[in-house]
Amino acid sequence: MRKAELVSPRAVPLPLKATLVSIFAALVCLTGWGMPVWGQEAGGAGGAQSCGFTWSYSSDSSRIMIGEAEQRRIWTLGVEYTHLLHQGHWVRWDYAGSLMPLFEESDPTDIGTVYTYNGENVVTPQTPFRVTTVDYGPVGIEPTGKSTSVPLYARYGRESTYSAAFSPLGVRTSALQRWRVQPSFAFDLGFVVSARDIPVDDADWFNFMFAFGPGVQFITSRRSFLRLEYIYRHTSNAGLGDVNPGVDQGVVRLTMSRRW
């Protein structure tokens, strides 16, 4: 018998994923991409400002640090702007701000119960409601006779909520400015505004958001670059709602930008 309709693979720990990104950066630097930038002086892709498109995705959420909401899927699409704060011989610091008009969150919902009797699944549907955690074990007992009973399991579905996010405060550092492949690290602070409470009812339509993590920046031309990052992202309402489960995620983020 299949206990539930929502299946989630075991999440890879965030520190392991961050370590893999760092190892990948080191290996790439040992290849041809690790050569100096086209005879260019320190400054990588050059320019004091940049603007580009950014996309991010996370297939799951778990209690990484302080969030409690499980099995959320979130993808975003937006734009990023950066401005040079400090340029050193090897390290560059930039202000970074991003606007994500497309921020979709998919939440697990409880849609009823199911139990097996005489080899048949007996399903009891109910009005779906979003849940903080997903329990694949028995949630109760269903009597099937005067002295017999079988375990009762929850059934799960999904609902999506469309939101928008804005991160006006951020900083990014990148190293090895003379090289085509540069390790980077980012920190972002902002908020998410949605049409209804997220991640569950009675939370809040306004949530704070912060994110940080390592990345690898590929200089593709004298003015363009591609950045791949793996970041930790947290969203929560900081007590503005009746409940505040919070969402912790490991997020893959891809950014394509041009400097001037």
Q: Is residue 192 part of a domain?
A: yes
Q: Is residue 2 part of a domain?
A: no
Is there a single domain that holds both residue 32 and residue 147? Answer: no
Cβ(107)–Cβ(159) below 8 Å: yes
| pLDDT above 80: residue 146 | no
Structurally, how many domains does the chain consist of?
2
| pLDDT above 60: residue 21 | no
Least confident window among 49-53, 180-184, 221-225 = 221-225
What's residue 189's pLDDT?
97
Tokens of 84: 């040079």
CA distance 214 to 75: 19
Is there a single domain that holds both residue 119 and residue 98? Answer: no
Q: Is residue 233 part of a domain?
A: yes
What's residue 17's pLDDT?
54
CA distance 27 to 36: 16
Cβ(137)–Cβ(143) below 8 Å: no
- Counting residues of the chain whose pLDDT is more than 70, the rounded percentage is 82
What's residue 57's pLDDT?
97
Work out the mean pLDDT of the chain and round it to a whole number.
Answer: 85
pLDDT digits (tens, 9 = 90+) for 74-124: 999 999 999 999 998 889 999 999 999 999 999 999 999 999 988 889 999
Provide the pLDDT confidence category of residue 41 given band limits of 50, 70 and 90. very low
Q: What is the mean pLDDT of residues 32-36?
A: 47
Is there a single domain that holds both residue 104 and residue 184? Answer: yes
What's residue 149's pLDDT?
87
pLDDT digits (tens, 9 = 90+) for 165-178: 999 999 999 999 88
Q: Is residue 165 part of a domain?
A: yes
pLDDT digits (tens, 9 = 90+) for 5-19: 433 444 445 555 555
Cβ(250)–Cβ(214) below 8 Å: no
Q: What is the mean pLDDT of residues 20-42?
A: 47
pLDDT digits (tens, 9 = 90+) for 237-256: 999 999 999 999 999 999 99
Listed residue (88, 94, 49, 98) closest to 259, CA to CA: 49
Is there a single domain that holds both residue 211 and residue 199? Answer: yes
What's residue 242's pLDDT?
95
Provide the pLDDT confidence category of residue 194 given band limits of 50, 70 and 90. very high
Tokens of 81: 């702007």
CA distance 22 to 42: 22
pTM of the entire predicted model: 0.79
Domain hosting 144: range is 110-157
Is there a single domain that holds both residue 121 and residue 51? Answer: no
